[in-house]
Chain A
Amino acid sequence: MGDLLQGTLDLLILRTLALQPMHGWGISQRIQQLSRDALQVSQGSLYPALHRLELSGLITSEWAASENNRRAKYYSITIAGRKRLKTELADWKRTSQAIALLLQEG
């Protein structure tokens, strides 16, 4: 994967979970699909990020049966997580617009 900034990965995880609760594998697949394979998240950075977000209370988790009936850990976004997502998204838009402007000017 391209080196995702830590904040960016958090943002992607929150965005993915805002649609529906999901396990780690699902999150990585979804990010890959939505980005049309441009972004690949390695488990080496995904799971530390998931546990970090959980510890800071932005997401929660519970064990449940998966689609193929195996035990999997499902993460879902919390209210605090949604709030954070909103501000982060706004920030992200501002920043990307700014960068886009800069690049056009250049």
Chain B
Amino acid sequence: MLWKHLFSRPRPAELNDELRFHFENLVQEKIKGGLSEHEARRQARVAFGNMDRAIEDTAGQYPGWWLDVLSQDLRYGLRGLRRNPAFATAAVLTLALGIGASTAVFSVVDHILFRSLPYAHDERLVSVGLTAPIMPQEFMLGNSYYVWKETQTAFEKFTSWSGVSQCDLSEANPEHLVCAFVESDFIPTLGIGLVRGRNFLAEEDVPNGPKVALISYGLWQTRFGKSEDVLGKTVSLNGEQTRIIGVLPPTFELPDLEHSDVLVPQRVDVAAQRRPGAIHIMYAIGRLKAGISATAAMASLQPQFEQALSQTPPRFRKEVHLRVRSLRDFQVHDARLMAWVLFIAVLGVLLIAGANVSGLLLARASDREGEFAIRKSLGASRARLLGQLLAEALLLSLLGIIAGCAVGEILLRVFVNLAPPAIPYIDQARLDGRVLGFAVAIALLSAILFGSAPFWSSEVLKKRSFRTAAASPRAYARQALLIAQVSLTLVLLTAAGLLLRTARNLQNQSLGIRTGQLLTATVHLGRYRYADAIKRMQFVNQLEDKLKQIPGIESVAVTDSLPPGGLEHDRIIGVIAVEGRPRPEGGTGGNVAWRAVTPAYFSTFGIRMVRGRAFTEEDRESNDRVLIISEAIAARLFPGEDPVGQHVDLHESDHDNPWYTIVGVAANVKNGGLAAESEPEYYKLWRNRPEDWNSGFAGTAGFPVVFTVDSPADPKALQSVIRSDAASVDPTLPVEFMTLREHVSSLADRPRFEAALLSLFAGLAILLAAIGLYGVIAFIVSRRTSEIAVRIALGAQKQDIVRLIGSDGMRMLGVGVGLGIAGAFAAGHVLSALLFDVKLSDPLTLSIAVIVLLGASALAMWIPVRRAIHVDPMQALRYE
């Protein structure tokens, strides 16, 4: 009843009948008074007044009246848009691009910047630990962690975990899983609610405590079919009978976002950790007390830090630092800056799009001034005019939202496909409700803001006036908007240019190796299957021999890591001793990378020997341990001396005879990734002795074995031959193939992705800026048509008209470019951490950006200016 009342609407035909009846009675009365019918009607019309207005006012009494008005306005608006397809297309396109791009990017950065972590009060969780050059992510050692846990004052709770490791679930059908090792109070400190069961007890987190485990929601679903009796069930985990005591929530994630299936107590022997020399590596997480900041917590931990420092070997002391930072920063560390850059870029694009639509609506309003003036004099109320403007803007933004969602979905798919795996949460990014809400909010806001703009433009509401080029405050606002657009576009263009050059420089830099026609085949020797060093050696030797016999393969090199990779072994230089000299004291001396290779490594990768010789096949059978060092480390250890023939001790604990003989010095090779500063490097030879096949294969992930073959043959054809050879040695090992070129290129994926995203925005920005410029100049031309006509009639030449119209545009462009250059310098500073081998104020990039912008602007301005030149004075003046 009430509902019906709310939407009750007038019936226009009845209203019309009713009022017409009244009118006819009026006429009849006047005829009775002795007037002719014609005169009676005339007088009745005067007396009656505006019948349409009366009908509308009456209809306005009905609560549901606005529905009719809205549909009428929408129909009218749609007709208007259809009559003016250029305007409609430009406006909808602008909105669609703005909304689409912002929605897609918001979907990506939302997770990085704004999404709350799946922990209770995640803003109070911090990661606490020490950093050292060799471990840039904060960590703690068992001996100090337990002291800190007892003595700290800044945290409500303080907990730790010890990373993940592969573990085997052997029940009916065995499965490889990932286990994470956590302290018993890990779950309550992070504030994670279990779906089923209970958390670990303190007595389960001791060396020989009862074996219990929490399983992930995914494992519960797939392995146990979400059955309730999973609690208390005993499974065999790495051969040990383990009882399942609970199920983690579906949202659970480890603080470093690593995947895990099972959580088990880390079972650290606390007493043993208190003895010197115990170095269990763990990661600490603290929950700040209310009102204490991360900085304050860091200050309060200073005494504990000093104490821990005094226990570390002296050479490390200068390079170890304390770090306390929010868990979010810990997770997204280097993605954060890029995410903010993208977010700001998207806001810039949105601003430009908004200004554009506003400019377009304004220009359209100037076209329709006459129409509005007529409507007003026919009795349309201000509210009705405003309502109609808003309905039209709403229509535009609805179309924009629909098109924008499509654009956003497409862009997001493109992003996800382009994105390298290192971008945190990218696989979770999708257009969800909140993101869509964001887009709709933007569209509606811009509709209300910019849709009603013509209404506030005073000319519309006054009676129709002679068109002049009067500089109203609104015109200044419009020009300011355009200047902002131009300068923002220049900043975006420059930023994109800098990132593009970074990606190019990264890929084109001199790596110190050749990459042509090299194909790599990688195998991971399993920890259990190849637990024995002899088995590893035999596998590698057998496959190497087979590969050498493939026709067309010129050489075969085997290593445990690839340059410029970043996955080399790392050590500190300070521990290396040279025979005949005292072992160095002092600092760590920085890091040195090393890798194990076969003799063909240097010739295959084209690494030049600066002094001495490369490894030979004879070295593989020798008792002597030989070493090749890079020029950089040679300069550090043997300044002004010949390193060849010298003996060094690499401080490896597992050998009786610690001495290596240096046989050669190799040219420097890029290592540690593309962007990072290269480290000095040394090469060890894999001899045919089991002792050489121990290091590096242990550890959590384990180093792979990489076979690199040099062959002009087609890599695809070569792959199948190599694959069948590998299968003949061990059919169970999967082989991954990649050309060295692809490998190098994949390292530049992320910078290329960032450059591509920003270029997309810059392209969008320049397109929008061009549309905006076009809109404003076209607006000026239409406002000044009569003035131009008078000038032409009085003999003005084409160039005078171009100057007249163009000067406005050029002035705005000039100011915009000036501001943009200043902005570009500022942007360069923000971006500096993301750049490689490019100056912040790279003149080339900046000038190309300016030229592109000016070119696009000139094109955008040319169309309306040409129209101005071709104004026909007779026609234009008669129109007025």
- Nearest A residue (CB) for B29: A29
* Residues in chain A near residue B24, CB distance under 8 A: 70
**Cβ-neighbour of B18 out of A42, A44, A47, A52 (below 8 A):** A47
Q: What does DSSP make chain A's interface, helix, strand, loop or mixed?
A: helix
* Residues in chain A near residue B49, CB distance under 8 A: 42-44
* Residues in chain A near residue B10, CB distance under 8 A: 51
Q: B686 to nearest A CB, angstroms? A: 94
User: Is the beta-carbon distance between B54 and A51 smaller than 8 angstroms?
Assistant: no
- Does B8 touch A at the CB level, under 8 Å? yes
The segment from B58-66, B171-179, B655-663 found at the interface with A is B58-66
Within A1-34, which residues are at the interface with B (CB < 8 Å)? 23-25, 28
User: Is the beta-carbon distance between B61 and A55 smaller than 8 angstroms?
Assistant: yes
* Residues in chain A near residue B241, CB distance under 8 A: none
**Cβ-neighbour of A47 out of B8, B26, B54 (below 8 A):** B54
Q: A26 to nearest B CB, angstroms? A: 9
* Residues in chain B near residue A73, CB distance under 8 A: 14, 17-18, 21
- Nearest A residue (CB) for B60: A48
* Residues in chain A near residue B714, CB distance under 8 A: none
User: Is the beta-carbon distance between B17 and A71 smaller than 8 angstroms?
Assistant: yes
**Cβ-neighbour of B62 out of A25, A51, A66 (below 8 A):** A51
- Does A39 touch B at the CB level, under 8 Å? no
* Residues in chain B near residue A72, CB distance under 8 A: 18, 21
- Nearest A residue (CB) for B54: A44
- Nearest B residue (CB) for A23: B21
Given contacts A43-B54, A48-B58, A51-B58, contact A24 B17 (CB under 8 A): no
Question: How many Å lie between the Cα of A66 and that of B61 in the bound state?
Answer: 25
User: Is the beta-carbon distance between B61 and A48 smaller than 8 angstroms?
Assistant: yes
Q: What does DSSP make chain B's interface, helix, strand, loop or mixed?
A: helix
User: Is the beta-carbon distance between A24 and B60 smaller than 8 angstroms?
Assistant: no
Question: How many Å lie between the Cα of A67 and that of B857 in the bound state?
Answer: 74
User: Is the beta-carbon distance between A25 and B61 smaller than 8 angstroms?
Assistant: no
User: Is the beta-carbon distance between A47 and B19 smaller than 8 angstroms?
Assistant: yes
Q: B105 to nearest A CB, angstroms? A: 50
Within A42-76, which residues are at the interface with B (CB < 8 Å)? 42-44, 47-48, 50-52, 55, 66, 68, 70-73
Question: How many Å lie between the Cα of A52 and that of B53 in the bound state?
Answer: 16
Given contacts A48-B61, A51-B62, contact A25 B22 (CB under 8 A): yes
Question: How many Å lie between the Cα of A51 and that of B63 in the bound state?
Answer: 11
Given contacts A43-B48, A43-B49, A73-B14, contact A52 B21 (CB under 8 A): no
Q: A99 to nearest B CB, angstroms? A: 29
Q: Which one of A25, A43, A71 has the highest number of Cβ atoms from chain B below 10 Å of its Cβ?
A: A43
Given contacts A43-B48, A43-B49, A48-B60, contact A24 B22 (CB under 8 A): yes
User: Is the beta-carbon distance between B25 and A25 smaller than 8 angstroms?
Assistant: yes
Encode B257-299 as 1/0 by CB contact (under 8 A) with A. 0000000000000000000000000000000000000000000
User: Is the beta-carbon distance between A25 and B21 smaller than 8 angstroms?
Assistant: yes
Additional A-B contacts beyond A43-B22, A43-B54, A72-B21 (12; CB < 8 A): A23-B21, A25-B22, A43-B19, A44-B49, A47-B58, A48-B57, A48-B58, A51-B58, A66-B21, A68-B28, A70-B24, A71-B21
Q: Can you offer 14 A-B residue contacts whose CB atoms are under 8 A?
A: A24-B21, A24-B22, A25-B22, A43-B22, A47-B22, A48-B57, A48-B58, A51-B58, A55-B63, A70-B21, A72-B18, A73-B14, A73-B18, A73-B21
Residues of B participating in the A interface, judged by any CB pair closer than 8 Å: 5, 8, 10, 14-15, 17-19, 21-22, 24-26, 28, 48-50, 53-55, 57-63
